[in-house]
Chains A and B, each alone.
Chain A
Amino acid sequence: MAYVIIGSCIKDDSCIEVCPVDCIHPKPGDPDFESAEQLYIDPVECIDCDACVEACPVDAIYAEAWTPEKDQYAIELNAEFFLQRAARDGAPA
């Protein structure tokens, strides 16, 4: 399981500030930060601690199992962001 960010994210970075394992990207300063329409959670790194849910001012983060029906697409989207990112710069996601 992992946590998932859905499309209503307003990119205010509140979740980044609280994530204990630094698995929410891109981060301010990253080359792909400005063009990102939202932030994404790396499902491989996320430890399901729930801290980001509390921090998010617009309730854009869900535990995978509780992602609303209309936002289910986001589960794959979050994962895919990291796969494409790794493929792009050959760097670990």
Chain B
Amino acid sequence: MARPAVRVAVVGAGPAGAFSAAQLRSWGVGEIDLFERLPTPWGLLRGGVAPDHQEIKRLEQTFDRQTLGRGCRLLANVEVGTDISHAELMEHYNAVVYATGAQTDKSLGIPGEDLPGSWAATEFVAWYNGHPDHREREFDLSGKRAVVIGNGNVAADVVRLLTRDLGELERTDVADHALDALRDSQIEEVVVLGRRGPAQAAFTSAELRELGNLDGVDIVVDPADVELDPVSREWLDEEGTFTARKNVELLREFAAREPTGAARRIVLRFLSSPVAIRGGDRVEAIDVRRNEIVRSGDGSLRARATDDPVETIECGLVLRSVGYRAVPLPDVPFDENYYVLPNDRGRVLAADGEPLPGVYAVGWIKRGPTGILGTNKRDAAETVARVVEDIEAGGLPDPPKGGDDLDALLAERKPDLVGVDGWRSINEQELEAGRSADRPRVKLASRDELLSATKPAQPA
């Protein structure tokens, strides 16, 4: 069936953008351009998913096949809002789908959070995954103890990266600069603080199980911590998810283990909230308060501070892993309370609550920073269905300019734009470097290196 000729810009080539482009393509949209601020596509699949979870990175091949392999264009190294404005996109496309993710972190709002040695897990993750904006960062790993705040899967990822055997990490695509730093790491103990109890931990049981199976690492859980309070016990019995029950089972098993005296140790502590990070010119310790679980008015289980004395834990590094947060885009509506683009099932809403014709959102910028990769596929289906409805109803704006005008504009403004060929060249060089080093890939981790690799390698 012939589809109306429509041009769509997808902003952000992460999982949500890739799933959307793939679905728009298979519906029959003729021209799809994927804008991406980095020289490389696939968002957190490349820059978030842990390097020791290589199997998951295979999704890149599906994305490549379903988008770039089917004629979607990649316009990478182009930042929307900086290099090209929202208004300019609207001048050249019938529809713009924002898939920009959550680019920064949530802060704790406690004293000392900005001391050197206290960082967001977001930054640490980007650094070990070779995100070019974080190439120059330095993490001081010379202290014996690190503290990780938060009980989500990102916390589990960073704990693993801090404790995993170096020989194993060397066989991943972890960034070389991170490998060098981790080689000199003096960290012997990583203390993980959950503000609620074991039954409320946000880890998936797969990630928690893995923490207990690391070679050369003991896992320590205080048996008293896995004695659930009555409120949590009732919740687990009556409403608890399969994952929550598995987590509690695993934590009980960890609590029953005898330490083997391994060189590294992960200590999981619950009902503990940080109240202050202390130190002179860098982190020296963290003050922790004890909580209890209470049921709040809406039925959810909350942490409430107790009067127990505050405890001080000495440490040289604090990583807060309490969630990601989206940033506004110039000239696009933004919900300052929920940090998302205000939207109705994907249609972005103007201040008056009416849909902005031709503007859509998908992924973390649409629904907030939760959900795994596949969640974005279903989310994309919802947004793409809105785009299709609007196309079929003839409700999309008609842009005054077309593809040639856009290409001329970008050629003038972004001579270092990275297209499909440029990315393929980067990819091939990284994979080739990996083959010679017996690694899945060796990442080019600075913008300069990446941009020079957009030309095929010269034979030596």
Chain B positions within 8 Å of A38 at CB level:
204, 206
Which one, A7, A10, A73, contacts B59 given CB within 8 A?
A10
Judging by beta carbons under 8 Å apart, are A12 and B243 in contact?
Answer: no
A59 adjacent to chain B (CB < 8 Å):
yes
Instruction: Return the chain B residue nearest A28 by Cβ.
Output: B378
A 41-77 binary contact with B (CB < 8 Å = 1; else 0): 0000000000000000111100000000010010001
Contact, CB under 8 Å: B206 / A32: no
Task: Determine the main DSSP class of A at the interface with B.
Answer: loop
Distance (whole angstroms) from the CB of A84 to the closest CB of chain B: 6
Instruction: Verify if B374 is at the interface (C-beta below 8 Å from A).
Output: yes
Number of A-B residue pairs with CB-CB distance less than 8 Å in the complex they form: 60
- Residues of A contacting B56 in the complex (Cβ-Cβ under 8 angstroms): 8, 10, 58
Number of interface residues of B (CB under 8 A): 25
A37 close to B209 (CB less than 8 A): no
Q: Is the C-beta of B327 less than 8 angstroms from some C-beta in chain A? A: no
Known: A7-B206, A59-B55, A59-B58. A36 touches B242 (CB 8 A): yes
Could you tell me if B55 and A58 are in contact, using CB atoms closer than 8 angstroms? yes
B62 within 8 A of A: yes
Q: Which residues of A are found within 8 Å of B209, using beta-carbon distances?
A: 7, 73
B204 touches A7 (CB 8 A): yes
Residues in chain A within 8 A of chain B (CB atoms): 6-8, 10-13, 28, 32, 35-38, 57-60, 70, 73, 77, 81, 84-85
**Residue ranges of B at the interface with A (Cβ–Cβ < 8 Å):** 53, 55-56, 58-59, 61-62, 204-207, 209-210, 213, 241-243, 245-246, 372-375, 377-378
The 8 closest A-B pairs by CB, nearest first: A7-B206, A12-B374, A11-B374, A37-B204, A10-B373, A57-B62, A35-B241, A10-B374
25 A-B interface contacts by CB (under 8 A):
A7-B204, A7-B205, A7-B206, A7-B210, A8-B56, A8-B206, A10-B374, A11-B375, A12-B373, A13-B374, A13-B377, A35-B243, A36-B242, A36-B243, A37-B204, A37-B205, A37-B206, A38-B206, A57-B58, A57-B61, A57-B62, A58-B55, A59-B58, A81-B242, A85-B242
